[in-house]
Every structure is written in structure tokens, then in C-alpha cells.
Chain A
């Protein structure tokens, strides 16, 4: 029981991070029908930007932890967003209207470019961050059978929940979100109504990257290290989450993320930690075979 509760907490924390990344995959897929292979690396870049900002703000300027965290989040989102905006302009937009696989190939190239760029600039080794938020709450149990909730886990879950609420409001209630959904459903019609489709796609990349940047900050805070290769595995897991939830569905991305996080931690606790990544990838394969539209995937009848 304690083990289960503990893994539930850990799984939801990890799942929050995957969910934030998964939204970027699902949004981009929704609007231009492309699997953005470089999105995991954008998340990794977000982690590095966060690392550098954390160092600057706390070590050099001596800002306290909470304001520093907020500052890192805001700046990290802006910088990563700008970065992804540039990627879309340079690597994807010129290929729009070309053959279907062209942007995909470009995205794979961009993924390799980003991880290599970071490897060259930051070196191949793990980059550590001194623990920012320490301390735990003992939820229940005593001795060796305790269930603990770390403060950093609370921060991760609360920040994710807040951000998702803001994001949901943005997509559902603002003209920008509406334009985004309109482009997703019928780009040509959106243009006929005066929506600048290219701009809307750019904004989608910026939003996806901003959420990935937050995930990067959380990842860095949670594990305390980030590495140039860290885009790949979390990226594929988040992509799995998006597929599991139903690619194109925003709530699906979050649910998929939480599920993948839970499956990974439960697997590690009850089976073996060695194969936790295999578990996630097996789910991708199983979903694609038995549930190709995912949990909240759109029924075909609604397509026009």
C-alpha cells in the first residue's frame, strides 16, 4: 500500500512533466499534421536555458528561490518560445506545401542539430543544478514504510495544474485560441475568415515550446541534472503520451502524460527499473495496434 501510494505521487509528478511536453506534440500535429521530432530537444534546450538562468539569478544575483523560480519560468518560456518560433520559420515553413514527409525529415534533422549544438556548447556530461527546493512531508507510515511528498513534487504538480488552467482558458475562451482551433479544423476556411494561418501556426509552436520549457525547468528541478541527450527519451515518452491520449486532443495529452508517468514508476517499483523505458515504448506499440485513435481520439465520423 505504501509503495503504491509513493509511486502514485512519483508517477503523477513525472506524468505532469510528460503531459506538458505532450501538449506541444499534440498541438503541432493537430494544426499541421506533422510529428515534430525536434520537440523533445526543444524541451532539453528549455532545460539548459533554465539551468543557465538559475545559475545567473541565484548564484550571481543572489535572488531567493521562489522569485528565482518564477523568473526562470517566465524567461525560460519566452526564450524557448522564441527559439521554437525560429525553428518553425527556418526549417518547417519553407517546406509547407512540399511532399508530406519533407517537414518530418527536416524535424529529425533539427532534432539531431539541437542535441549536437548543446553537446558542443555545454559539453557531453551531465550538468548538475544545486538542489533548489528541499524538504519533504511525510504523508503516512513510519520507519522504513513511509510515504513522502517532496516540496519539489508539490511545486511541480501545482505549477503544472496552474499552467494547464491558463492554457485551457487561452485555447477555449480567447480569440487566439479560437483561431488556433479553427486552423486545426479547417485551415482554408480560417483563412477565408481573415485568420493569418501562418501566424497562428507560429504561435502554436511558441506555446508548445513555452510549455516544454516549463517541463524543462521541472525536469531539471526534479532530477537535478540535465544532459544534451535528455531530449530523446522524455521526448519519445511524451510523444507516446500524446498518442495514448489521442493525438490532436489536448486533455488527451495530459491524461496520456499522467498515465505514462504512472506506468513508468509502477513498473520500476513492481518489476524492474532496468526496463522502465521499454515499458513506455511497448505502450506506444500496443496503442498504435489496438487503439490507434487513443483514449480521447476523435471518432472518424466527425471529420469533414
Chain B
């Protein structure tokens, strides 16, 4: 890691420079601006969550980190490397993994093949060992091993998307709405798995959620995005207690 000093505020957890830093990022779809200058940090070992209404630009930020779409202005650095202009597949090779919006499981590949795809960047070193870890984390996947991704239930697809992302042994895991459309029991299972990975293996997680209550309870820190800008940030519990956040994202939501 290099020793570039950023002007970022002192992180709440961990010291030194952030693992992921987003500075003044603007992203457009054609002429329409979706991110209007986003600043955000994720430190080593943290779970950070980004909450915001539908259409705020959360998924756009997740994909912009991977350069697809590319940021038109601003800078994104990962582990001290400027990745703003790097091709998407090279960003992935720096060990950032994503379980994207809509899960994007390969529909005509089996569960096993989907996991193999996840391990592509580390040339299948420790593949068998990692598959066993995934089966321990999500036993359901083991039962579905030979089944095609497209025939799995929504919850199973979500587990597979997360497991596939983990097969790369990422330094940073991006999760885009892992709870979307899932039964509460499965949501709990998935959030427990994320917490366990973070505690036991020190995995750094950047989580996008509409399900603000669970996400803020899980996260060390959180950001709130409105219309392509960050409007609030703070500790998970702190945001959870904030009257504005409660009014906008929690009241009437799932608890």
C-alpha cells in the first residue's frame, strides 16, 4: 500500500488511509446527471452502509466504483491505487467484489459453475476449500449445486451472488440491496452471514440498502444519499436514532 495522505475526515474505525475513497465523483447517463459529486470512505475492517430512496443513485455509485458507467469527474482510489480510469475487469482483479443489483447470477450455469466464475481471478487456488466455506455459510447452495442459476429462488440467487463474490477472496465486498424481495427469515440469514464474515475474517463490506433499519444496525457507519448527493453520514446507531433518518427511511418500514 502506498502512503498517499487524503484530506478525508478521521475514520471512526481503523487508522491510516481508507481502503476505498470516493472524492467528488460525478456520473452521467447520457446527459442526465446521476451522481452530483459524491464523497465517501470505507475503511479497512468496516461495514459501511449507504441508504437512500429508490432512484437516489446508490446502484450507480456501486457500478461507478467498477468503472461501468465511468465517473466523468472526481477520483476513486482503492488501497492507494487510483482506479477511476481502470478497465472494469482490472478493478475486479484488485480484489473488489460485487453482488450487484438484481443479483445477476448466470442463468444457464450451474451453482457450481457460478462459484467457479467467482474464483476466476485467483486462478482457482484454494478453490475447493473456499467452496466448502460457502457451503458452510449458505447450506442451501450445497443442495442446489448442480442446478442452473436461472431456476433458483430469489433468496437462493442472492446467496449465490454473495458466495460468488466471496470466492474471489475480496478485500472489499460491495453488496447492492441483498435483502430486496426476500422473506424476513432469509434476510436475517444473509445479514448474519455478513456480520460473521466481518467479525471472524475482518472482511470490509460496503452495503447498499433500502432496508435501512437492518442495514444501520449492522453497519459501523452509514451514509444517506438523496438525489445523487450524500446528505448525511455518521455511526450506524447514530443515524438510526436521527429523527430525520427515522422519518424518511424507517417509519412504516420493516423492523
Binding site for B on A (CB under 8 A): 175, 178-179, 181-182, 185-186, 188-197, 298, 302-304
Contact = CB atoms under 8 A, between A and B. Distances in A.
A77 B113 CA distance: 29
Question: Most chain-B Cβ atoms within 10 A of its Cβ — which of A178, A186, A189, A194?
Answer: A194
A175 B123 CA distance: 9
Contact of B109 (A181, A191, A194, A196): A181
20 contacts: A175-B124, A178-B116, A179-B117, A181-B108, A185-B108, A186-B106, A188-B88, A189-B100, A189-B106, A191-B66, A191-B88, A191-B89, A192-B66, A192-B68, A192-B97, A192-B104, A193-B164, A194-B92, A194-B120, A195-B117
B192 to A, nearest CB: 25
B160 to A, nearest CB: 12
B45 interface: no
B210 interface: no
B107 interface: yes
Nearest to A186: B104
Contacts, number: 74
Contacts of B102: 304
Contacts of A195: 89, 117, 120
A176 to B, nearest CB: 10
B118 interface: yes
Interface in B118-136: 118, 120-121, 124
Interface of B: 66, 68, 87-90, 92-93, 97-98, 100, 102, 104-109, 113, 116-118, 120-121, 124, 150, 164, 168
9 closest cross-chain pairs (CB), A and B = A194-B121, A194-B92, A191-B88, A189-B104, A185-B106, A194-B93, A196-B89, A302-B150, A191-B89
Contacts of A304: 102, 104-105, 107, 150
A192 B117 CA distance: 10
A185 B168 contact: no
A182 B106 contact: yes
Contacts of A194: 89-90, 92-93, 120-121, 168
Contact of B113 (A178, A190, A191): A178
A23 B6 CA distance: 53
B89 A197 contact: yes
Given A195-B117, A196-B87, 15 more contacts: A175-B116, A178-B117, A181-B106, A182-B109, A186-B106, A189-B104, A192-B68, A192-B92, A193-B89, A193-B92, A193-B117, A194-B92, A197-B89, A303-B107, A304-B102
Nearest to A301: B150
